[in-house]
Structure 1
Amino acid sequence: MPEAVGKPVPRSIAVFGASGHIGAPLARHVLYRNPDVKLRLITSSESKRDGLRARFPDDECVVADLLDPSGLDAALQGIEGIFVVTPSPFDETLAMSNFVKAVRAADSAVHIVRILGYEPESLPRRVPEHVRRFGGTAQQHYVAKTLLDASDLPVTYLNVGATYLDNLLALAPAVRSRRTVVWPDRVIPFIDPRDLGEVAANLLLSPDPRHLHQFHTVNNGQDLLTTEEVADILSDVLKVRLTCETSREAFVAEHGARIAARRGAENAADRILDFIEYEQGNSAFLALNDFAERMLGRKPTSVRAWLMEHRAHFVGAEDGSA
């Protein structure tokens, strides 16, 4: 069998979502691994660009929006490596159409890493209609992959088969105020977004061509947990016995206003619960794997380690916090 020809290591990398919880750790890891790489840090807002310039004073920080093609050509000109993550919900048809055109116009990309998040091998038509209508994770990533596959660009998909560990911060107010975890009854793997950024950086900096056009599902390889098991770990970290409230009504009452403000839809919390019900009805697909560990060269962050690091967020005044 002939040996695979090596993939060029990008000499320049553009990071969409560079101010976020994945993009910023990715940028820091690229600078650590290969400080000669030219970074172009992309955000969609002027205010976030100012923050990026403060954090990355020696790197290029630009404003560009995947939904607005006017700035994309300049943002990707001369760029060889690209990291792409999008918020939820998002118009992927417009965004990825614009993106593909800009990448082709630049004609310099050797590797693109795109974040996805859905059940591997699943079909979008199997998602219930009321969940599809809400869009977001239940639909947008299918659309993005279909358009990128058709483009035949050198893409690696990082499929997040997990929930982000920093989502646990949403539990903190109820834990502090009444020692209760308010969250749906769910079983799910976990991943630290900082680890995910590092995995994406290592993929882009790898000369291994076997990652091109691959679909890698990633989690921390350690934690496939129910809500009650998460509460038990947090109880042990805090040395305080926590209770669980997993009803739909409790979730909407606790988190509804925050989620509505973030998503711009009054019923967003209910729609997220609809998606979780669909996901849990197919939860046999959830499985731990060691892809992140192999790409990191170390064990990824566990739920317990993350909670110990962020313990102060969950400690109430009666437990000795300031």
Structure 2
Amino acid sequence: MQEMTERLGSDAAGLARAAEILRAGKLVAFPTETVYGLGGDARNGTAVAAIFAAKGRPHFNPLIVHVADLAMAEAVAEFTPRARDLARAFWPGPLTLVLPLKPGSGIADLVTAGLDTVALRLPAHPLARALLTTFGGPLAAPSANPSGKVSPTEADHVMEGLSGRIAAVLDGGACPVGVESTILSLDPPTLLRPGGLPVEALEEALGAPLESGGDAQKPNAPGQLSSHYAPGAAVRLEATEKRPGEVFIGFGPGGPEADLSLSASGDLVAAAAALFATLRLADRLATVLKAPTIAVAPIPEKGLGRAINDRLHRAAAPRG
């Protein structure tokens, strides 16, 4: 049975209503600086199960827990000195740390997919932080879209995918970063997912290159499934020409005439912010034109380009 999805404003009344809904064990989508998250009380197993049900998400895929401050994070996970240094350097912001789960934390088992670690993030978006503070506890929050589909960077995107499946959306406008958080595990420092915090910044802080990790079959953090962020049309990458029957997404000056562009000037920050909205527009255009494929121009593998390419490769992966 579908429920009416409320659209809440970003004022005090909207925050109070969102917190009330969350305390009742229901789900509220809310903006972060990266994408909109689908929030539920991380200590309420029924609420967490509802997240998986609303998204159609596999239960073996763990969730990120969002916290209001470092004290709330330390009540959930065990912090080493290095983890605390990284948190102080990059929180609030688009960094998720995978750390040992603290005994007695109260985090529902479904959040961690039965693992002894938990993925934690302190978001920078003021509305997300206000909601976490008003609610007064940790929120499990994957991206607020059907599993495997393009992530939402506006409240309208959330409504397109989840209206009738969740209780409310807290509308905070467009998300400024536009790709999900970078995920890092420690001991040794291992990149599990590139994201909104460039890898170069982490490597500079750590004083060493990062290892790469993650298993699409047995993920220990979100965003590791091989097919993810997928539009309806097929996706062709590293495209240097537009073929018949394609919608072409360009990047930077020059190249073939583009139907859409991630950034005409070649700005990776702007491209990251525009990525998911552009994929959605391209998919709609492909439907109208009856084009079976979306082609995407090459993106430099540096800075936020690593996160953009990660999402594009998952969008282009064979679908199960």
Q: Which has the higher helix share?
A: 1
TM range (shorter): under 0.3
Q: TM-score, normalised by structure 1?
A: 0.25
Q: TM-score, normalised by structure 2?
A: 0.25
